[in-house]
Amino acid sequence: MSRSLKDGEVDELKSHADIYGIVSGYVNLKKSGKNYSGLCPFHKEKTPSFSVDPTKQLYHCFGCGEGGDVISFVEKMENLDFLEAVEFIAGKVGYKLKYNMTGSSREAGKARKRLFEINDLAKKYFQFILYNSKAGKAPIDYLKNRGFTLETIKSFEVGYCMDLWDNFTGFIKKRGYKDREVIDSGLAIESTKKPGTIYDRFRGRIMFPIEDIVGKPIGFGGRILNEKSNTARQSAKYVNTPETRLFSKSKNIYNINQAKNSIVNLDQVFIVEGYTDVMALHQAGVKNAVASLGTALTSDQVKILGRFTKNIILVFDSDQAGMNASLKVIERLREYNERLDLYFDSNLNIKVAVLEKGYDPAEFILKRGKESFLARVKKAQNIIDFTIDIILGKYDINDLSGKLKASDDLIRFISTLSSSIIQEECIKKIAGKLDLKENLLFEELQKKKEDPADSKDYWNKDDAGKEKSTDNEKILPLKKVEIEALKLMVNGPGPRLDDFLELGPSFFRFDDTRELYKALRSEIGEAGKNNKKINFPIKITSGALENTETKKLYNYILFSELYYGRDDIDRACKEILNNLKKVHLSDEIDYVRKKMLEYEGAKRDSSDKDKDKLDRKYDSLYQRLIKLEREKLDLGYNK
Ligand SMILES: [Zn+2]
């Protein structure tokens, strides 16, 4: 539900919220002249350069340059967006904000407020049961046995709900809330057997309250205490509040409000699976941990986390990431990898850390401590590398047939990813790991894409609903550039023809594009030798093309239109030539880098005499690398 403030409300709020009063809640301010000064909360400093001007109601730091009004201060301190910061300040100073509301949105606003109240009362009630009833003893013992201190249990406001059908509903109805409201809060369910009556959704469960980003209670996660209890039979180990007006498991993140400041300070967030994992990390001093409430992160959750940090580490326990690549981890990674586009758009850096065998994150940190946890997550691997390794782990790649099977499996995985940039990146990595040629793998990928039946089942996902892509869209971007180049050659690139001829076949990385390039070049060469004028589009003598794929490509080029007007051709030529050169240079750079690493490795176990020789080779490679990098840079600039 989108809300907007009435005109003038922000100014009205600012007149109620003195900047000195708000800022002094975070910074120790001392009077200096007509202003106040203190140590800047936005950068590290030893002498105060942070200043608050109460007459202008502004703050400014002479050290780092941060500055603004009370709202921007709270936005930054609490990592909130504008409206959230306004509401936060209003809450602090007790100002009642006025919203633009139609009759129905006013009703909705009121209903929302009642739902917050129900959740808040529930939270307090469940805590009361945990600490003050006989029934609370078993859950407390359970939590203590798992290693939690009373302080942690209290700080996460954990509670317990009775193993009865109407205990909570009875309590909340006595407080004046209607059946409908309790159902809408997600805490009660309407009976199908006895319509008109409601019963408790959560029974005999340890209750973990879930808060929104500013700390308001919006729902619960409940863990069953005794699987054999009367009311728990046939129900899941964990039950969450269903989707309500306040709670959505795809939009909310467990512990985000408590963790957000640490996430910003450490510029990193750990995503774990369970509520107790978050609690355990917190207890051990790792405060930048949250749990996603579904199986994988959603785009909304990514957006929220992206406000605090770009560095996300998924913490898997070893059972999930077992060496036999259990179904669960593959399933989990599928969800993540399918969203890679989304992550790349938000410039996120996602890594996966795996804990030692036999531990879940909670056990691991409570038994082994913060330092060994941090050492472990330091080894976290980029999610693409991790997925590739998991798949590789299924095969013996020292044996040729294992290698082929692994590459087939990997290419099927890659063909399910939607971004061609990521596909290219994966292919490069696989080529390195399996010691196979990149263009071979690209061709395989191309085949898989042309035969969707082959790749469709990789993740057992249902592709039936997806539209079939047109031929043109199926072509890799890299290949597209090569085809554009060939199109220009066939149709006449004007004065740039020589530049194309100079490139050479190695600039074309696919069998069919390379063969066509060679054929065009020899056709043009023949014409030149015989002093004949070249007629565009170039007609290739029939029979000169052997490969059916190449013939298809040539026909495709003859039939397709050149997009460029006469005036644009030169610019297009230049751009395409640049792109081809860049790819070629990148390949050479990769090759030189790899060679350099080999020499470095060889140097370690060789005699001094050999070392000199290797050093010289290394140096000359290094010179070449610098030259190539410079060339590549130059290409980038003269676009
Ligand atoms: Zn500063």
pLDDT tens for 276-331 read 999 999 999 999 999 987 666 777 787 788 778 889 998 887 654 444 434 455 56
Omega into 537 within 30° of 0, i.e. cis? yes
Rounded to the nearest angstrom, the distance between the alpha carbon of 81 and the centre of ligand 1 is: 20
Query: Residues for the chain: how many in total?
Result: 639
Rounded to the nearest angstrom, the distance between the alpha carbon of 87 and the centre of ligand 1 is: 25
- Asked if residue 37 has pLDDT above 70, the reply is yes
Q: Calculate the average pLDDT of the chain.
A: 83
What whole-number distance in Å separates Cα of residue 296 and Cα of residue 333?
9
Rounded to the nearest angstrom, the distance between the alpha carbon of 612 and the centre of ligand 1 is: 52
Rounded to the nearest angstrom, the distance between the alpha carbon of 244 and the centre of ligand 1 is: 41
With a threshold of 0.85, does the pTM exceed it? no
Rounded to the nearest angstrom, the distance between the alpha carbon of 44 and the centre of ligand 1 is: 7
pLDDT of residue 454: 45
What whole-number distance in Å separates Cα of residue 104 and Cα of residue 107?
5
Write out the E strands in 129-262: 159-161, 188-190, 198-200, 205-211, 217-224, 238-240, 253-254
Rounded to the nearest angstrom, the distance between the alpha carbon of 210 and the centre of ligand 1 is: 34
pLDDT of residue 470: 36
**Which contiguous run of DSSP H or E holds residue 350?**
strand 349-354
Rounded to the nearest angstrom, the distance between the alpha carbon of 171 and the centre of ligand 1 is: 50
Rounded to the nearest angstrom, the distance between the alpha carbon of 256 and the centre of ligand 1 is: 25
Rounded to the nearest angstrom, the distance between the alpha carbon of 49 and the centre of ligand 1 is: 7
Using pLDDT thresholds of 50, 70 and 90, give the confidence band for residue 220: very high
Rounded to the nearest angstrom, the distance between the alpha carbon of 350 and the centre of ligand 1 is: 30
The model's pLDDT over 128-151, given as tens digits with 9 standing for 90+, comes to 999 999 999 999 999 999 999 999
Q: Per mean pLDDT, which of 101-105, 344-348, 425-429, 453-457 is the most reliable?
A: 425-429
Number of H helices, E strands in the chain: 27, 17
Q: What are phi and psi of 609, to 5 degrees?
A: -65, -45
